[in-house]
Amino acid sequence: MTKDTEKDINLAEFKEEVLAAYPKKVAKKRGKAIVYNDPDEIPQIQANVRTIPGIITQRGCTYAGCKGVVLGPTRDIVNITHGPIGCGFYSWLTRRNQTRPDEQAPENFIPYAFSTDMQDSNIVFGGEEKLKQAIREAYELFHPKAIAIFSTCPVGLIGDDVHRVARHMTEELEGKVNIFGFSCEGYRGVSQSAGHHIANNGLYKNLIGNDDSVDGKYKFRINVLGEYNIGGDAFAIETLMDKCGIELVATMSGNSTKKQFETAHTADLSLVMCHRSINYVAEMLETSFGIPWMKANFIGAEATAKTLRKVGKYFGDQELIDRIEKVIAEEMIPVKEAQEKALEKTKGKLAMLFVGGSRAHHYQELFNELGMTTISAGYEFGHRDDYEGRSVIPSIQIDADSRNIEQITVKEDATRFKPRKTEEELKALEKEGLEFNGYEGMMAEMKKGTLVIDDLSHYEMGKLIEMYHPDIFCAGIKEKFCVQKMGIPLKQLHNYDYGGPYAAFEGAINFYKDIEQIACCSIWKEMKAPWEKEDIVEAEYVY
């Protein structure tokens, strides 16, 4: 896209019109969060600041990020929400995290919503005793391997100490179950991003490194971090790794178990999918145990092939490299067939993506493969480094909200720190094109002139659609029906609308088929919102 195109003119008009509707102070703040992309000179964007009161955005709370995102997909840990039942229900199965218990570990607690169901009396007199009783009941009924406790807003306001309760109950149950808590009250951070950080800290302190056993049938051992098995994505990645002869030690945290968390430090490489939600764990594993990490992407066929080749190059084993190339060649045959079929209808269409994690970035790969252009994108809880790349981290100022999150000290493990690669080996691999501890961010891969918006509001969303008429809009449930009433199909990328998997080669084929059906369906052009179909009487009154 160039400045001479009509699309760029429309984008400029969009920002001007949107900001004109806001009060001056609000407009000044929002203007910093709406930028025109230039991959050659990445612009600075305002991100990870509190949403302006009164503006409806896509964001969730800190509790949602901790319990709902990071710990929710694990199947053999009982996750107890300490708070009103609404909080527990909100975070229960809404992201369609799937799991697949096996004979060795048949436990599956994901279908249960565990909550203390705090009432008015608990708010007045305290809820710690009720929490203790909930833990007793959970242990008597299920005998889980671990119990995690998650604080909600009322808990922080009245002063219940979930960490003290965890210690007391561990003593009472004689250490038969690992019990730990998270201070993840919904108001604690700017968005669910704070909950991710809190969850990462808790995983490191309470689970990671607790089990030194090395299991599996392959010698090449990796972790996949920031993959949550929505619609079965982790299943597709697990199958792909098995075909390539790679041992998947831990997925954090799709289709995960307590043992996976505890043995993650035995892997030799970490691949980071969702940078925002899990980069802290990746760095902790490297600092404590010497495991390097690389940014990866299994969303899109070409991206998946690129990631597999990076893994092969990292391990440097020719037999593994040959096996990976064979798998890629086999998998790309049906992918190309499905892609060519879909391209006939999808090429040239426009997409907008406003979703969390790295999805607003990664799914652009799939749209590129469909010949579609992403003209506008943004995160709901991203930080500047998610947009601009990790090189800007030293320039990001720590604000009061960030100080609400516990900062833990991570050191080399005294007995188990073992660098998987020497400094010389890492530098040699970097010369061959591998990048460690790095992420260029979303903007580097978006076209010049595209519009990047952080923390999109419903008003801004409506204006984008009204002025730009994309062929498909990707967001979440809060936006879904508003967008569809405007005659634009919406694809949820938080839970896939009962679709998926969309990861790996298998997922790419599924995505091609679904987008072809959604974005090319003519019925959306016939859609009229109720206020467009019905006669409306308007009047002005003078008093």
Give residue 428's pLDDT band: very low, low, confident or very high (50, 70, 90).
very high
- For β-strands 293-295 and 269-272, DSSP reports them as parallel
Nearest to 271 by CA among 242, 243, 246: 246
Answer whether residue 105 shows pLDDT above 90: no
Peptide bond preceding 23 in cis form (omega within 30 of 0)? no
Answer whether residue 427 shows pLDDT above 80: yes
Angle between helices 301-315 and 233-244 (to 10 degrees): 40
Range 8-17 average pLDDT: 75
Residue 170 has a pLDDT of 97
Whether 80 is in a domain gets the answer yes
Answer whether residue 474 shows pLDDT above 60: yes
- For residues 47 and 402, is the Cβ–Cβ distance under 8 A? no
The two tokens of residue 436 are 């460690």
- For residues 212 and 218, is the Cβ–Cβ distance under 8 A? no
Tally of domains within the chain: 1
Answer whether residue 6 shows pLDDT above 50: no
CA distance 500 to 503: 8
Residue 543 has a pLDDT of 65
Rounded to whole angstroms, what are the CA distances from 8 to 5, 129, 451, 494?
Answer: 6, 60, 9, 29
The model's pTM is 0.93
Q: Which residue type sits at 424?
A: E
The string of pLDDT tens digits covering residues 47-94 is 999 998 888 888 999 999 999 999 999 999 999 999 999 999 988 888
Residue 520 has a pLDDT of 86
CATH number at residue 69: 3.40.50.1980
Whether 73 is in a domain gets the answer yes
Range 500-506 average pLDDT: 96
Domain that holds residue 78: 62-186
Q: What is the b/e burial string over 451-470, where b = at least 16 CB atoms within 10 angstroms of the residue's CB?
A: bbbbbbbeebbebbbeebeb
The string of pLDDT tens digits covering residues 132-173 is 999 999 999 999 999 999 999 999 999 999 999 999 999 999
Please state the separation of Cα 367 from the chain's center in Å.
Answer: 19
Query: Please, what is the average pLDDT of the chain?
Result: 92
Whether 67 is in a domain gets the answer yes
Give residue 9's pLDDT band: very low, low, confident or very high (50, 70, 90).
very low
Whether 300 is in a domain gets the answer no
∠277-283-288 over CA atoms, to 5°?
A: 135
Whether 37 is in a domain gets the answer no
SS3 252: strand
- Cβ–Cβ contacts within 10 Å for residue 303, how many? 21
Whether 130 is in a domain gets the answer yes
Q: Which of 341-345, 481-485, 537-541 has the lowest mean pLDDT?
A: 537-541
Catalytic positions are 61, 64, 95, 196
Answer whether residue 512 shows pLDDT above 90: yes
Residue 521 has a pLDDT of 85
SS3 of 272-292: ECCHHHHHHHHHHHHHHHCCC
The string of pLDDT tens digits covering residues 299-319 is 999 999 999 999 999 999 999
Whether 423 is in a domain gets the answer no
Whether 84 is in a domain gets the answer yes
Answer whether residue 378 shows pLDDT above 90: yes
Range 101-123 average pLDDT: 92
